[in-house]
């Protein structure tokens, strides 16, 4: 199931920041350089049974995505976090794959047209 939400809504992000282009640029740079979301690290946490650590890891990236109005990544992150916290059930690997795909799309979009 493909999420129809935008990969990155620059206008919405600017609205949240009261039109502050410089702050948006700082947040984008921070997301690209400081937000280290690695699929293998997440999968290792899950396979070792540390769901709390995995959920916190997902939460950090989801929160950064929310600040930048990266709705697609925010949505897939929320679904995965809910599963990891035991709020929902489902296939963790398919949700990890979905979030990883959305993360890659988001990073590519920010690099191409911030």
- Residue 43, pLDDT above cutoff 50: yes
Confidence (pLDDT) at 3:
54
Q: State the Rg of the chain over Cα.
A: 14
Which residues, including other chains, have CB under 8 Å from residue 97's CB and lie 6 or more apart? none
* Interval 47-53 mean pLDDT: 96
Residues 72-85 have pLDDT tens digits of 999 999 999 999 99
Q: The pTM is what?
A: 0.91
User: Can you say whether the dihedral through the CA atoms of 51, 52, 57, 61 is positive or negative?
Assistant: positive
Specify whether the backbone of 86 is left (phi greater than 0), alpha (psi in -120 to 50) or beta.
Answer: left
> Band of the pLDDT at 4, cuts 50, 70, 90?
confident
Q: Which contacts (CB < 8 Å, 24+ apart) does range 38-41 have?
A: 39/96, 39/100
* Interval 63-78 mean pLDDT: 96
Alpha carbon distance 50, 23 (integer Å)? 35
Residues 96-106 have pLDDT tens digits of 999 999 999 99
State what percent of residues in the chain have pLDDT above 90: 90
Residues in the chain: 114
> Band of the pLDDT at 113, cuts 50, 70, 90?
confident
């Amino acid at each position: 199931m493909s999420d129809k939400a935008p990969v990155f809504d620059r206008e919405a992000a600017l609205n949240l920041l009261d039109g502050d282009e410089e702050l948006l640029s700082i947040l984008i740079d921070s997301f690209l350089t400081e937000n280290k979301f690695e699929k293998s690290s997440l999968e290792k946490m899950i396979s070792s049974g540390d769901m709390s650590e995995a959920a916190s890891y997902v939460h950090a990236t989801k929160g950064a995505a929310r600040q930048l109005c990266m709705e697609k990544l925010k949505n897939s992150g929320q679904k995965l976090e809910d599963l990891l916290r035991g709020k929902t059930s489902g296939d963790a690997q398919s949700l990890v794959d979905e979030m990883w795909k959305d993360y890659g799309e988001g990073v590519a979009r920010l690099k191409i047209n911030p």
